[in-house]
Structure 1
């Protein structure tokens, strides 16, 4: 009985292994030879671009998400009556691959509307490149809807104006579109850039150094991705050599920019605190005359470079007007406004800085945590 079960399992395994892989990608058609012949039969009215692939092929695995993203875009832009993307497992169906001169994987062929003749596809294999090729070749109007990027994209014309700006601290990634490590870094790098988008002096940037080779050569970039930090007031960068996780980037940029951001872009408990104003806070806690402190704080804040200095002046003036009870009442009000997540980003920053200053006046430094899930403010 046991041997019979084992035999059945082996037979089932052989049957399953003999089937071509079904890729199941959104926006992409899986063709068996029979389905291919039934669809591309000479009477078809749309153009087909077919990738002959093998399940084990590394380059094929790289192509699949590109094929899917473009395929979804074709449907989303209403161009799926003009062009379609497909995959054929030519490792399983080797005779079918030989029929179309497939000698390596992936091999991509075009079958134009009304024709069963295969034409070689020699176009790009990245998303934007494939879209442009299809639009040029078939007169389609495919486009990719992309979310706005927080990473500042540089080129040869804009590089010096951003990276060498004496007022800004700039982290630059030198990348190449085909680089696997660069692709892995991209979502982390974008998340970090989003965290600092409200910091005017703290910039997360990138440049395609495989295209803008003169910039890569100037900074001796020999591999990708290369990360270099251009500090405010300097023209010579330092290599970024710490971790490539989001927390490491944030720690590095906070130290370099003199700010206190969290990975979600919110301000930390020290944001807004100005060290030279600590003496005024100490004097208040020691019971010094509030009237005298209001004048001293106002004078110090008058020409101070930090915007938060004006918050100190306003807070001390309010305490003079409304008494010390103002501090806890205002903290409660700010806590509610920050936590409901409805404030715009710049207002949220100001509320958080004000909250931190008020907390310093009561001898506490606990951060107020904004509501979760409120990324767009």
Structure 2
């Protein structure tokens, strides 16, 4: 079932240098460099979670002669250094520069944040990109592809492209896409692989594994989708290279419903199966939802979609609201639904100026549900 992931994991990457008590002075103190040292222990879960970021940093600074990133097992052959620097626990990151007192890093534990710390402390800057890239676009290499794409809990549309003038417009669209789906980060994200020749050592494994042969090339990864032969294969995107083209595609493959400005459409939040039952007999909605929730807990959403009980666009997060709305309808008739619908319509007309995105989305979905019920 995980042959593709295992094949990817088997492709080796450059090793992170491990130091110890004996060579610490030579490699760290006397090197003349700024050296970030990751003090870790094998039994420490937080250390293992941090290690991919440390490995990525080691590769990032591999071609920066003034900076080096290393690790030391503070519970084995690094116990003397652990004691000498009076570490509070594992993991601990210390930045050394000669005999100066090391600086402890206490920020967020991701490669970008740690890299910013190194650059600020050392006053050594990494080469900057030629164009502005949204912070929401995942910059992918062999080092983070597994965790950020193949093993991720969300779907990912990945752009493989060169960093040239021809691709500049496409990169701008990619930035816009992250804004369109900013409220859906738990369901879909957008990654980019820079095919600049200088990046070849950091991306060669994924290029081979996924058969990337030209620029631009766009692949859609769904970690939940497994082919009949047990492999997890990405889908090749061959549609229109425009914001509307990408938006239409993402809406279909991720079961979302946004326009190019990030607004939800009139169908967002609705369940056609529930609406059909409501049109025949509103009271039938309650046992249907109860049975549906039980089946989902037992067999999962995918099984319900395969059995055509649900469609990909049905919003299961709105089941509780359907029950409340139908209960009000049975008790008070259309009047109560109309009052709430008009109230929501007034708020929505004010737009994003006075309501945050998440609240606005939920209001739009509620308005859509009420509008659909009032039509019956």
TM-score interval, normalised by the smaller of the two chains: 0.5 to 0.7
Offset from partner CA, 1:149-174 (integer Å, 9 cap, x none): 33222232221223224753221011
Offset from partner CA, 1:68-106 (integer Å, 9 cap, x none): xxxxxxxxxxxxxxxxxxxxxxxxxxxxxxxxxxxxxxx
Matches within 5 A, 1:257-276: 257-276=254-273
Normalising by structure 2, we get a TM-score of 0.52
Structure number with bigger Rg:
1
Contact 1:294 1:317 in 2 (8 A): no
What is the aligned length?
A: 221
Runs of 4+ in structure 1 over 6 Å off: none
Q: 2:156 maps to what in 1?
A: 170
Q: 1:337 maps to what in 2?
A: 347
- 2:183 counterpart SS class: coil
Uncovered stretches (5+) of structure 1, i.e. residues with no partner:
1-131, 365-377
1:239 to 232, 236, 241: 236
Contact 2:257 2:268 in 1 (8 A): yes
Contact 2:275 2:373 in 1 (8 A): no
Uncovered stretches (5+) of structure 2, i.e. residues with no partner:
1-118, 227-231, 302-315
Q: 1:95 maps to what in 2?
A: none
Determine the C-alpha separation between the residues in 1 that align with 2:214 and 2:267.
38
Contact 2:221 2:235 in 1 (8 A): yes
- Name the one with the larger helix percent: 2
Superposed displacement of residue 248, structure 1:
0.5
Contact 1:281 1:360 in 2 (8 A): no
Q: Report the CA distance shift for 1:166/1:148 in structure 2 as closer, same or farther (over 3 A).
A: closer
Q: 1:215 maps to what in 2?
A: 206
Higher RCO (C-alpha under 8 Å, 6+ residues apart): 2
- 2:219 counterpart SS class: strand
Determine the C-alpha separation between the residues in 2 that align with 1:148 and 1:204.
10
Determine the C-alpha separation between the residues in 1 that align with 2:334 and 2:206.
57
Superposed displacement of residue 263, structure 1:
0.7
Superposed displacement of residue 182, structure 1:
2.4
- 1:244 counterpart SS class: coil
- 2:182 counterpart SS class: coil
Normalising by structure 1, we get a TM-score of 0.52
